[in-house]
Amino acid sequence: MARGSREVLTLQLGHFAGFVGAHWWNQQDAALCRPTDAKEPPGELCPDVLYRTGRTLHGQETYTPRLILMDLKGSLSSLKQEGGLYRDKQLDAAIAWQGKLTTHKEEIYPKNPYLQDLLSAEGVLNSDDIWRVKSIPNGKGPPPFTTTTTPKPVIPTEGSIRVWSDFLRVHLHPRSICMIQKYNHDGEAGRLEAFGQGESILKEHKYLEELEDRLHFYVEECDYLQGFQILCDLHNGFSGVGAKAAELLQDEYSGRGIITWGLLPGPYRLGEPQKNIYRLLNTAFGLVHLSAHSSLVCPLSLGGSLGLHPEPPVNFPHLQYDAALPFHCGAILATALDTVTVPYRLCSSPVSMVHLADMLNFSGKKVVTAGATIPFPLVPSQSLPDTLMQLGEATPWTPLSACGDPSGTCCFAQSVVLRGLDRVCHTSQLTPGTPLPSPLHACTTGEEVLAQYLQQQQPRVRSSSHLLLTPCKVVPPYPYLFSSSLSQQGLVLDGPPTGAAVESIPVLGALCSSSSLNRTLGDLAKDLAKLDLRRWASFMDAGVEQDDLEETLQELRSLAQCYQSGDSLMD
């Protein structure tokens, strides 16, 4: 473990969280496997914050996510719960019982063609079916990139993706996956649908002990644990699992940062009233309870509304995506997540999770919004000041927290990250003596350009900004969502399309404490207050009582009041 790497432990709770998480870990993996002649400089982001080194039973070193993942029975497809990295068939024969054995086998799911191709390309499964991983140089870090006879990977098709494990290309530690066997992923019966069901899971000794054991395993090997990030489904019963997990972390690891990303899939479907009502209830209960036990909570969704009024999904000028596909939505949200979490993953001058939360959550504002520009629309012949000036006074990022149009709202505090622009583009390249189009063109560094732009946009707002050269990787199995007007590096072409696939993109991402949450949380409370719970008794039967609902409604209203636009940091 690298000294001073300020480790973060990730909890991934739910199936949509699995889609976002699989894309997230694939992007981390793509960043690790950087060619030796890569143009972007190494060392901006510290992978040891998210990854841990280990050793297989055969003595070979591994580098795996520091991750605890919870999902339902039937959600893993061909992925084994113990993973494939440490699996050894020779150990299966070492059974102490010498009597008669009866073997019961579940149906084996066929491996997704993409993953079959990946295994073939890596060539690390020996004929004796023992997994042999690539060596890790100097005892830590990722294996070196190699361009030997590796075949071009298959790009997974949307139709071939049934569950998140169908496209996860990262090997997990045996202690990562925790399956909830009492609920089913598929079918209409035995579903984890309600907040109360999720809460009750971690009240059971079996599941609570399993989670605590895994937490202790990962935490005890950390030297400088800065905190936990929770990726949690907000729309189903996993909102209750997340709330109890956050409460456990707050009780056992006081003083550590807990940042929760409440994940919701695409927009509502009008023909599913029960699912929509449950989604509303789970979201409301989840936000209230998660904000009580987390340092910071951020809803993430490509939908336009958290409440019962359907809004169209958000639009990105250079992306074509299907909002009904978790494979697409998860990729976009993972890209945003990979960008807005940069501050606490930096190698140099990092911002701790606790410090980031403290900057954004003053005056009880524990819920924040996220936004991103994917990709950031830079034309190769232009500079960063040119592009920012062209964006005008409008909010420069697309909202990703289902809070509607941000125009007319105010921001109390924000953390902004811009990544993936070549250093030569950071400042104006105008010939000396040319009149400057804007004050941004007089700045001498990219950091100064970004900071001054944010100051112009929101003069009375506390802003933190970071500018990185490292882009966001979007190689397969990332879905191909990009318009033909983008270059291989994700820049907006000012000429004809080159036909080259986009491999990396510049991204602008932001976390904001915004007055838009006053309207969003207030509308959520109004929708909740209108419900006739006698029609939804099954939600209450799952462990939630009428008093719990009244308390949640009051907490939601109080939370909304924190974001009244007159309540500014500078007032």
pLDDT in tens, 331-386: 999 999 999 999 999 998 889 999 999 999 978 889 999 999 999 999 999 999 99
Position 118 scores a pLDDT of: 52
pLDDT in tens, 394-420: 889 999 999 988 877 889 999 999 999
Q: Which residues contact 382 (CB under 8 A, 6 or more apart)?
A: 425
Which of the two residues, 97 and 334, has the higher pLDDT score?
Answer: 334
Position 407 scores a pLDDT of: 78
Question: Is the pLDDT assigned to residue 67 strictly greater than 70?
Answer: yes
Residues in the chain: 571
Strand pairing class (411-419; 462-468): parallel
Question: Is the pLDDT assigned to residue 328 strictly greater than 70?
Answer: yes
Report how far residue 189's alpha carbon sits from residue 137's, in angstroms, rounded to the nearest whole number: 49
Give me the amino acid identity at 180: I
Report how far residue 382's alpha carbon sits from residue 10's, in angstroms, rounded to the nearest whole number: 38
Q: Which residues pair with 440 in a beta bridge?
A: none
Question: Is the pLDDT assigned to residue 514 strictly greater than 70?
Answer: yes
Q: How many CB atoms lie within 10 A of CB 84?
A: 16
User: For residue 321, how far is the Cα from the chain centroid?
Assistant: 18
Strand pairing class (8-13; 67-73): parallel
Which of the two residues, 308 and 423, has the higher pLDDT score?
Answer: 423
Are the CB atoms for 5 and 43 separated by under 8 Å?
no
Strand pairing class (51-55; 61-65): antiparallel
Task: Tell which residue, 263, 403, 234, has the closest CA to residue 330.
Answer: 263
The percent of residues above 90 in pLDDT, for the chain, comes to 63
Burial class of 170 by CB neighbour count within 10 A (0 to 12, 13 to 18, 19+): buried
Question: Is the pLDDT assigned to residue 2 strictly greater than 80?
Answer: no
Region 246-266 average pLDDT: 96
- Mean of all residue pLDDT scores within the chain: 85
Position 355 scores a pLDDT of: 96
* Signed CA dihedral, 279, 285, 291, 293: sign only: negative
Position 34 scores a pLDDT of: 61
Region 495-520 average pLDDT: 93
pLDDT in tens, 416-447: 999 999 999 999 988 888 899 999 999 999 99
Question: Is the pLDDT assigned to residue 553 strictly greater than 70?
Answer: yes
Confidence at 143, pLDDT banded by 50, 70, 90: very low
Position 83 scores a pLDDT of: 64
Q: Is the peptide bond before 41 cis (omega within 30 degrees of 0)?
A: no
CA-to-CA separations, 530 to 237, 273, 274, 281, 402, in angstroms, rounded = 22, 14, 15, 12, 20
Treating both helix axes as pointing N-terminal to C-terminal, what angle do 238-252 and 273-293 enclose, rounded to 10 degrees?
Answer: 10
Are the CB atoms for 33 and 145 separated by under 8 Å?
yes
Region 110-134 average pLDDT: 48
Instruction: Kindly state the tokens that stand for 374.
Output: 């994917």
Output helix, strand, coil percentages for the chain, rounded to the nearest 5: 35, 15, 50
Instruction: Kindly state the tokens that stand for 487.
Output: 């270059």
User: For residue 354, how far is the Cα from the chain centroid?
Assistant: 18
Region class of 273: left (phi > 0), else alpha (psi between -120 and 50), else beta: alpha
Instruction: Kindly state the tokens that stand for 569.
Output: 């940091």
Which of the two residues, 89 and 492, has the higher pLDDT score?
Answer: 492
- Domains plus CATH for the chain? 1-32+41-82+155-369+517-570 (3.40.50.1440), 370-516 (no CATH)
Report how far residue 230's alpha carbon sits from residue 77's, in angstroms, rounded to the nearest whole number: 23
Q: Which residues pair with 511 in a beta bridge?
A: 370, 415
Position 147 scores a pLDDT of: 35
Position 90 scores a pLDDT of: 41
Question: Is the pLDDT assigned to residue 209 strictly greater than 50?
Answer: yes
Task: Tell which residue, 181, 178, 232, has the closest CA to residue 210.
Answer: 178
Question: Is the pLDDT assigned to residue 223 strictly greater than 50?
Answer: yes
Report how far residue 420's alpha carbon sits from residue 157's, in angstroms, rounded to the nearest whole number: 27
Region 456-479 average pLDDT: 94
The percent of residues above 70 in pLDDT, for the chain, comes to 82
Region 110-119 average pLDDT: 56
Place of tokens 């800065």: 226
Cβ density class 334-344: b for 16+ within 10 Å, e for less: bbbbbbbbbbb
Are the CB atoms for 523 and 375 separated by under 8 Å?
no
Q: Which residues contact 259 (CB under 8 A, 6 or more apart)?
A: 227, 228, 229, 230, 294, 295, 296, 297, 298, 353, 356, 357
Instruction: Kindly state the tokens that stand for 12.
Output: 């991934």
Give me the amino acid identity at 223: D
